[in-house]
């Protein structure tokens, strides 16, 4: 006899975590789908976002400043990282894998030097810490869902209706045609990186109050990020969203039964998805 409230609660959790997966993986999905660059260092933005929100909550006592700071910092760093990563265009996948892996190791160690190795606690903003009585869930989680959906929708709208967004979409579609139009594809890639990184940073900032940031959080989340992208379909915005939600739900439901079951179930789903439809649920060959 499973309590209906428990199902609702676990579903909300699953959606929340799934949306965060999707948000932080979106940048990776687009860069991988289009430029075939597996950027393992992308997750550093996620970690950076979490740690920045921690620092601002200590210094300024305000959670929102932290989120905005993460967004801006990661945006700028994303643009910079494009400068570095552009050397990887056209290189073999294995090469980019290792170079970005090396950057990940270095980045993790930089985080350790700056913030130390111990556990950090980030408190969610006071206004949002009340708990919904019946469900036994903090309102903050619901808030995260709302914000992620808003961000995601804005991204989709941005891609479809704004000029820069259209440039990016065109670039993903066919970059040669874009060049024929006289538009420098570099603008698209820079914008892509910046956007993806900023989203990852915000994702990290939002996720931070739900658990404690620690130095290895970037590398630990990489498998989940890959799973999200591949399940949903690399290069597809809605695909990543779908992939994230499905995996988030799987993670949440199995986690209720036994926490160690979550990774197994999540990767089993990835495995099965790959076998049945390798390009992902919404991916195209």
Does 37 help bind other proteins (rule: CB under 8 A)? no
Task: Please count the residues of this chain forming the interface with other proteins, following the rule CB under 8 A.
Answer: 66
Both structure tokens of 125: 């903003």
| From candidates 1, 2, 4, 94, binder to other proteins by CB under 8 A | 94
Residue 269 and residue 247 in contact, taking contact as beta carbons nearer than 8 Å = yes
Q: Which residues pair with 138 in a beta bridge?
A: 131
Does 99 help bind other proteins (rule: CB under 8 A)? yes
| From candidates 59, 60, 83, 87, binder to other proteins by CB under 8 A | 87
Give the x/- contact pattern for other proteins in 242-261, rule: CB under 8 A: -------------xx-xxxx
Applying the rule CB under 8 A, the residues between 121 and 180 that interact with other proteins are 121, 123, 129, 131, 136-138, 140
Minimum gap (Å) between residue 100 Cβ and other proteins: 10
Does 223 help bind other proteins (rule: CB under 8 A)? yes
Minimum gap (Å) between residue 157 Cβ and other proteins: 29
Does 76 help bind other proteins (rule: CB under 8 A)? no
Q: Would you say 137 or 178 has its CB closer to other proteins?
A: 137
Q: Would you say 165 or 213 has its CB closer to other proteins?
A: 213
Give the x/- contact pattern for other proteins in 189-218, rule: CB under 8 A: ---------------------xxx-xxx--
Does 119 help bind other proteins (rule: CB under 8 A)? yes
| From candidates 62, 92, 154, 284, binder to other proteins by CB under 8 A | 92
The three state secondary structure string of the chain is: CCCHHHHHHHHHHHHHHHHHHHHHHHHHHHHHHHHCCCCHHHHHHHHHHHHHHHHHHHHCCCHHHHHHHHHHHHHHHHHHHHHHHHHHCCCCHHHHHHHHHHHHHHHHHHHHHHHCCCCCCCCCCHHHCCEECCCCEEHHHHHHHHHHHHHHHHHHHHHHHCHHHHHHHHHHHCHHHHHHCCCCHHHHHHHHHHHHHHHHHHHHHHHHHHCCCCCCHHHHHHHHHHHHHHHHCCCCHHHHHHHHHHHHHHHHHHHHHCCCHHHHHHHHHHHHHHHHCCCCCCCCC
Q: In the complex, which residues of this chain contact other proteins (CB under 8 A)? A: 6, 9, 13, 32, 38, 87, 91-95, 97-99, 101-106, 108-110, 112-113, 117-121, 123, 129, 131, 136-138, 140, 210-212, 214-216, 219-220, 222-223, 226-227, 230, 234, 255-256, 258-261, 263-264, 267-268, 270-271, 274-275, 278
């Amino acid at each position: 006899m499973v309590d209906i409230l428990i199902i609702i609660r676990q579903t909300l959790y699953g959606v929340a975590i799934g949306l965060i997966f999707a948000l932080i993986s979106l940048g990776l999905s687009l860069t991988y789908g289009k430029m075939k660059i597996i950027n393992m260092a992308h997750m550093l933005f996620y970690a950076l976002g979490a740690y920045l929100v921690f620092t601002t909550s200590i210094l300024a006592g305000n959670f929102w400043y932290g989120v905005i700071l993460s967004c801006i910092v990661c945006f700028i760093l994303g643009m910079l990282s494009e400068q570095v990563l552009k050397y990887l265009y056209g290189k073999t996948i294995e090469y980019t894998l290792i170079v970005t892996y090396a950057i990940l190791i270095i980045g993790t160690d930089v985080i350790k030097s700056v913030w130390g190795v111990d556990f950090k606690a980030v408190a969610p903003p006071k206004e949002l810490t009340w708990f919904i009585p019946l469900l036994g869930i903090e309102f903050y989680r619901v808030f995260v869902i709302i914000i992620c959906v808003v961000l995601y929708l804005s991204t989709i709208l941005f891609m479809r209706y704004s000029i820069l967004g259209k440039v990016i979409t065109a670039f993903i579609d066919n970059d040669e045609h874009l060049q024929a139009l006289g538009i420098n594809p570099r603008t698209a890639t820079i914008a892509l990186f910046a956007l993806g990184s900023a989203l990852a940073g915000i994702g990290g900032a939002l996720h931070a109050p739900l658990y404690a940031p620690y130095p290895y959080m970037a590398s630990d989340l990489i498998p989940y990020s890959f799973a999200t992208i591949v399940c949903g379909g690399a290069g597809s915005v809605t695909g990543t969203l779908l992939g994230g939600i499905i995996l988030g739900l799987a993670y949440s439901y199995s986690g209720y039964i036994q926490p160690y079951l979550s990774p197994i179930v999540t990767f089993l789903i990835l495995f099965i998805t790959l076998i049945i439809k390798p390009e992902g649920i919404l991916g195209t060959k």
